[in-house]
Amino acid sequence: MNEFSVLFVCMGNICRSPTAHGVFARRVSEQGLATRVRVESAGTHGYHVGRPPDERAQEHAARRGYDLSGLRARQIHNRDFERHDLILVMDGDNLTRLQALCPPQQLHKLRRLTEFCVEQSAEVVPDPYYGGASGFEQVLDLVEDACAGLLRHVQEQLV
């Protein structure tokens, strides 16, 4: 049986990447793929290791039916480049940082999450941390759109 692993990465692993983690994990589960698709998230920096997602991220996600409360922030590790089939970053800074850390033979795994958007056109998932409620809603809009395209991509890989 084929398996596939996706890692979502933002800076602190408390807003964008856990939101993507929660949204994608639910979609994977709804498709009956939870035993075949592993979903994780991490941050490029260790500012919040061990902490739950930002309360605002949790609140906005919960309004759309996503439970992020069980997630805990962690920093990316060298072994992540080997363990995951796809490492999806939220913005150019995350991509640049990971490109510097990633072994050359694993660089093909690094992509922007927004490449998978099917309805919206965006280069990045903007960081909502220092903004208001609309930022968290925008993150959810982009993440939900991208996760729809990502799910199709992963399903193709599992065939």
Q: What is the pLDDT of residues 3-41, one digit of tens each?
A: 999 999 999 999 999 999 999 999 999 999 999 999 999
- In the predicted structure, residue 1 carries a pLDDT above the cut 70: no
Count of domains in the chain? Answer: 1
Sign of CA dihedral 104, 105, 106, 110: positive
Catalytic choice (16, 27, 74, 112) = 16
Could you tell me what percent of the chain has a pLDDT over 70? 99
Average pLDDT along the chain: 97
Cα 70 to chain centroid, rounded: 15
Catalytic choice (91, 127, 145, 147) = 127
Is 117 catalytic? The answer is no
Mean pLDDT of 34-53: 97
Cα 26 to chain centroid, rounded: 12
Is 10 catalytic? The answer is yes
CATH at 70: 3.40.50.2300
What does the alpha-carbon distance between residue 33 and residue 29 come to, in Å, rounded to a whole number? 6
Catalytic choice (10, 15, 102, 117) = 10
Which domain covers residue 111, as residue numbers?
Answer: 4-158
Tens of pLDDT along 126-158? 999 999 999 999 999 999 999 999 999 999 999
pTM: 0.97
Across 34-54, b (16+ Cβ under 10 Å) vs e yields eebbbbbbbbbeeebeeebbb
Sign of CA dihedral 63, 65, 70, 75: negative
